[in-house]
Amino acid sequence: MSTRQKSEFHAAAQKVRIETRAFIDGKFVEAADGGTFETVNPATGKVLARVTAGGKAEIDKAVAAARRSFEAGVWSGMAPRERKKALLRLADLVEKNAAELALLEVLDNGKPITDAMNADLPDAIETLRWHAETIDKLYDWASPTPRDVSSIIVREPIGVVGAVIPWNFPLAITAMKIGPVLAAGNSLVIKPAEQTPLTALRLAGLAVEAGIPDGVLNVVPGDGPTAGQALGRHPDVDCLSFTGSTEVGRLFLKYAAESNLKRTSLELGGKSPAIVLDDVSDLRHVAEQVAIGILFSQGENCSAGSRLIVHKAVKDKLLPELVEVFKGWTLGDPLQPDTRIGAMIDEGHLKRVLSYIDSGKQAGAVLVTGGARALEETGGYFLPPTLFDRVGNDMKIAREEIFGPVLSVITVSDAEEAVRVANDTN
């Protein structure tokens, strides 16, 4: 990242192109009923744009376009080497437009620009390239049989795939869906999170430039109960991939059960532990790694290390190191290169995380640092690194996913207890 880039992020953000329409069958379109919703900059609380609110009608059109493209074979029947070239072109275009996509991600999501530039964009680009390179390297299998029998196991695309994207890593996870789905020759309908639809829509425009045929990749923004449910229940969707909360994941299993029993793949929440025993020698290094585990991406991460299970012999020595390291995680404007913690995704989520903090206090946990909304004058939704001591593993803050920069410290007496507590989750 050059010095010039560092000084011009705010100016560049003012010029970034924002596409707000749904992308169906190779074209950007408005909703049939003209409906829109607001997408808000979490760092300022201000509206970025009004985005097309897709509903059942738009999902039906997108699925029909995906089915037509699949049955016509414009992608599913394309020579593997040609599909590979198109997907590689898409990866190249993402790389070429990385600065613009990173800015869109920051404005829509609130994460630090350095995270978007150094983590999310490289991840998305490599994901697309990796799957593109598999296309002409996956072979069918010949199964072992008697000499007078031939048996072949053939890999075939499943058909129309629906993908529902979360708001915490919108671009990277969209790439994680596009890569394998298109590599296998399927057609795809994406429903991005209503909080962060902008990079998926921009990616759809790049897919046109890459030469991906009309109808193969469709993006329908909208909320979960309408667009998301319509996609989950659609009888002509053969497979659905969802990344998001455990609560909503259960709904997609229900939608599949009550419709066509479509194959459903779920990546849901977590309550990951870090274990520190009494033989550790470098407590500062441990503190730095624990901080990365819980504070990266504002703790809005399904694999966030939100429980620190620590031996009683080193806990009192480790806590001051953690507090000191937490102070080094600068909270502030996501467009400033030295910011390490940006804004929470929206006001509702901030209030949810604060309610967990209140729950911890009421349960008897000791708040060591953080715990209150910060930088309110910006209009944004900021929460500093937050640390609780004396947490019992039966407390709400230890058992439920908070999805924020909140670490619970649980003290144990030996390794066996540490492993037992680590595994004692829902």
Strands 263-267 and 239-243: parallel
Please name the helix (run of DSSP H) or strand (run of DSSP E) that holds residue 162, with its range, or none.
strand 160-164
- Beta bridge mates, 414: none
Cα 337 to Cα 5: distance, rounded to the nearest angstrom: 9
Which residue stretches of 110-189 are H helix? Answer: 113-115, 121-134, 170-183
Beta bridge partners of 241: 163, 265
Cβ atoms of residues 103 and 113 within 8 Å: yes
Closest by CA position to 327, among listed 239, 255, 424, 405: 405
Q: Which residues contact 377 (CB under 8 A, 6 or more apart)?
A: none
Is 100 a catalytic site residue? no
Taken in order 375, 381, 386, 391, is the CA torsion positive or negative?
positive
List 58, 302, 321, 401, catalytic entry:
302
The answer to whether residue 267 is catalytic is yes
Active-site residue (options: 267, 288, 400, 417): 267
8 Å CB contact between 131 and 87: yes
> Helices 198-210 & 170-183, crossing angle to 10 degrees?
40
φ, ψ dihedrals at 244, nearest 5°: 165, -150
Q: List residues with catalytic annotation.
A: 267, 302
